[in-house]
């Protein structure tokens, strides 16, 4: 294949659906660990096409969504300070904190700027030496290399008014937490192709060996996802458990080794709280001691900000795959994109946003299909 349109080809998608239906001897439960894949599945109606063969469970694959509420409140505190220019990717601006979101802070006079790279934030710091500039470093391993580069470059240039509010999480510990849960019913996983472009898939091999669960590295277009599902179903039917790579056009087993080396120089593994899941040991990235001068949590003494998640929001159950978004009583009622209770309703990769935007309430078909 050479063109994007080929990965959306209806005839090819239908042939993969037919193969999945013919291969699955009973309904299989597969979890995709990427919010971008979730949006494709819901938008293209893949779950409806596979209803009798595969139940797709939406996992904690949206880094915006798993950022805990207290970290959002820390960001809001920083953004409200008159001496701070707070910078972030645009997908964090509408994520609700306890009382406000970053857009509302900006409307109230806080200097909140959208950037397209953490290096843009570093340039803002160089241009404003009399202000503190903070970048909200959110993401899986995919965005960690660029954030590591910004911190590394800040030290090289001697920029002291730049720091990062680090909220990085890593995928394998989350998969392990799901598999260790007593109510787990996931039989196989689709791993996020963009994460594996950076990290490769070697780190999934111990999980496959320990839990005997198939993991297929998968892309994001309908044909990608259907082929990934087909590969996972084939493994389950054959009684195999391996790491397989569907996303061969972008992913190598070793990943991007120079990017991994840079991340390892700047970050170290730390325990990290995940929204709705709780603390997962060694599941996050934190700055190494030699880079603590660029740690916004330490620079601004944010450890005292503690917040409890709202009981009305069932985002945690959605992120763990325990319920589908429409099964939350607040969905579409007290929780909408205009008045969200949690990040999954407003994030571009949130499962609740996918179900709301594409009108797939309680399995009701709508929108385009593959």
pLDDT digits (tens, 9 = 90+) for 14-46: 999 999 999 999 999 999 999 999 999 999 999
Going from the C-alpha of 229 to that of each of 60, 219, 351, the distances in angstroms are 18, 11, 19
Residue for token pair 């001068």: 293
Residue for token pair 């996992």: 59
- Looking at residue 363, its pLDDT comes to 45
- Looking at residue 365, its pLDDT comes to 38
- Looking at residue 277, its pLDDT comes to 81
Cα–Cα dist 90/146, whole Å:
16
CB 46 within 8 A of CB 40: yes
CB 305 within 8 A of CB 74: yes
Determine the average pLDDT of the residues in 315-334: 91
What is Dmax (Cα atoms) for the chain? 66
Cα–Cα dist 286/272, whole Å:
9
Residue for token pair 């082929």: 227
CB 159 within 8 A of CB 126: yes
156 contacts: CB under 8 Å, gap ≥ 6 = none
78-136 pLDDT, tens per residue?
A: 999 999 999 999 989 999 999 999 999 999 999 999 999 999 999 999 999 999 999 99
CB 43 within 8 A of CB 321: no
Mean pLDDT of the chain: 93
Going from the C-alpha of 148 to that of each of 117, 272, 273, 319, 359, the distances in angstroms are 11, 18, 21, 27, 39
- Looking at residue 264, its pLDDT comes to 98
Residue 189 pLDDT greater than 80, yes or no: yes
Looking at the chain, list the stretches that DSSP marks H as alpha helix, in order from N- to C-terminal side. 10-23, 35-43, 46-49, 63-66, 69-80, 102-107, 118-127, 144-157, 171-180, 193-199, 205-211, 222-238, 257-266, 296-299, 315-319, 351-357
Structural domains of the chain, ranges and CATH numbers in brackets: 1-300 (3.40.50.11740), 315-356 (no CATH)
210: exposed, middle or buried (Cβ count in 10 Å: 0-12, 13-18, 19+): exposed
Residue 142 pLDDT greater than 80, yes or no: yes
165: exposed, middle or buried (Cβ count in 10 Å: 0-12, 13-18, 19+): buried
Cα–Cα dist 153/161, whole Å:
13
Chain centroid to Cα 331, Å, comes to 20
């Amino acid at each position: 294949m050479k063109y994007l349109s080929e990965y959306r080809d209806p005839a090819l998608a239908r042939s993969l659906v037919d193969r999945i239906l013919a291969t699955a001897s009973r309904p299989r439960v597969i979890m995709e660990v990427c919010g971008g894949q979730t949006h494709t599945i819901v938008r293209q109606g893949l779950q409806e096409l596979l209803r009798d063969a595969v139940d797709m469970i939406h996992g904690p694959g949206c880094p915006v969504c798993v950022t805990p509420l207290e970290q959002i409140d820390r960001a809001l505190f920083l953004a409200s300070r008159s001496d701070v220019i707070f910078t972030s990717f645009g997908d964090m601006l509408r994520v609700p904190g306890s009382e406000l979101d970053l857009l509302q802070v900006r409307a109230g006079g806080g200097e909140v700027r959208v950037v397209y790279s953490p290096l843009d934030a570093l340039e803002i710091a160089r241009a404003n030496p009399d202000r503190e500039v903070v970048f909200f470093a959110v993401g899986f391993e995919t965005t960690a290399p660029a954030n590591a580069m910004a911190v590394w470059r800040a030290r090289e240039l001697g920029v002291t008014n730049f720091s990062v509010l680090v909220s990085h999480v890593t995928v394998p510990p989350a998969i392990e937490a799901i598999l260790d849960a007593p109510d787990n019913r996931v039989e196989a996983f689709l791993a996020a192709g963009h994460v594996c472009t950076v990290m490769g898939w070697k780190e999934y091999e111990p999980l496959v060996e320990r839990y005997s669960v198939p993991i297929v590295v998968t892309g994001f277009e309908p044909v990608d996802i259907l082929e990934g599902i087909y590969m996972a179903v084939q493994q389950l039917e054959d009684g195999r458990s391996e790491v397989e790579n569907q996303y061969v056009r972008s992913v190598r087993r070793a990943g991007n080794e120079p990017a991994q080396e840079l991340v390892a120089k700047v970050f170290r593994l730390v325990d990290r709280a995940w929204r709705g899941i709780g603390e997962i040991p060694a599941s996050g990235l934190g700055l190494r001691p030699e880079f603590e001068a660029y740690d916004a949590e330490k620079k601004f003494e944010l450890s005292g900000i503690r917040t409890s998640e709202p009981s009305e929001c069932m985002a945690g159950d959605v992120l763990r795959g325990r319920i589908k978004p429409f099964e939350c009583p607040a969905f579409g009622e007290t929780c909408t994109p205009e008045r969200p209770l949690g990040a999954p309703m407003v994030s571009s990769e949130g499962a609740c946003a996918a179900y709301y935007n594409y009108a797939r309430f309680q399995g009701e078909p709508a929108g385009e299909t593959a």
